Copies of this chain bind each other. A is one copy, B any other.
């Protein structure tokens, strides 16, 4: 199922979306091999999950010889980690709707789309599952998300430039990393930890919650704000992400 889905994936590839490829980059023979192998790995993860994935499957699906796979990627763990590394090399850019609120909502909706769409959701979920079974996959996942969130910080920079966010004392800026991490968290937590369903309404709520916290100064280092304009010295906001 996810095998047929690669073409669609760039559309729903998001900041915390299923770690699947965005638009393809031109590249030589080696780059093309890496891409077909990555596609086969994602298809296998979607179909069989991490425990079921084998080098034999990837060889059969990609048409790349087993010996080449063993030589370049070592084993299944290496194949999965590289597929994640490659997913992080796509050309995805965060939404740019002209307002902080619109950007955060679009970001949250991308998360819902990418994980509820069968083609991208299966391999993305399997990548996250792999993080529990492989140290290298966990390390690659972390690098993937750190890089994704870094791209998302432009959303916050644009909002600050538009004067949509409050500045802290001595103009301390909002912690962009903390703000963009706040958007997908409630959705990913429901999907993979508490196992509760998500939908567009919850995406909008997640975006609104992150925005409210940002406006209250929760993500602005040094700005005292537990949620009301008056602030509360007993709850200094902390720097996250």
Whether B202 lies near A238 (C-beta < 8 A) is yes
With an 8 A cutoff between CB atoms, is A167 at the interface? no
With an 8 A cutoff between CB atoms, is A81 at the interface? no
Whether A208 lies near B218 (C-beta < 8 A) is yes
Select one of B16, B128, B132, B202 contacting A240, CB under 8 A: B202
Residue in A195, A201, A225, A234 whose Cβ sees the most chain B Cβ within 10 Å: A195
User: Chain B contacts of A205 at CB under 8 A?
Assistant: 178, 218-219, 237-240
Whether B227 lies near A195 (C-beta < 8 A) is no
With an 8 A cutoff between CB atoms, is A48 at the interface? no
Complex Cα distance, B13 from A26, in Å, reads 51
With an 8 A cutoff between CB atoms, is A30 at the interface? no
Select one of B128, B211, B225 contacting A208, CB under 8 A: B225
What's the number of copies of this chain in the assembled complex?
2
Select one of B184, B215, B218 contacting A189, CB under 8 A: B184
Interface 1/0s, chain A 204-230, versus B by CB < 8 A?
A: 110111111111101100000111100
Contact status of A133 and B51, CB under 8 A, knowing A193-B16, A211-B226, A215-B227: yes
Whether A226 lies near B208 (C-beta < 8 A) is yes
User: Chain B contacts of A186 at CB under 8 A?
Assistant: 181-182, 185-186, 189, 240
Complex Cα distance, B204 from A50, in Å, reads 35
With an 8 A cutoff between CB atoms, is A241 at the interface? yes
User: Chain B contacts of A232 at CB under 8 A?
Assistant: 101
Select one of B16, B218, B228 contacting A194, CB under 8 A: B16
Whether B189 lies near A235 (C-beta < 8 A) is no
Whether A195 lies near B237 (C-beta < 8 A) is no
Whether A213 lies near B219 (C-beta < 8 A) is no
- 16 residue pairs from A and B, CB less than 8 Å apart: A105-B235, A132-B192, A138-B195, A145-B193, A145-B196, A149-B194, A181-B186, A184-B189, A186-B240, A205-B219, A205-B237, A208-B238, A210-B213, A211-B226, A212-B215, A214-B227
A: which residues have CB within 8 A of B? 16, 49, 51, 101, 105, 125, 128-129, 131-133, 138-139, 141-142, 145-146, 149, 178, 181-182, 184-186, 188-190, 192-196, 201-202, 204-205, 207-216, 218-219, 225-228, 232, 234-241
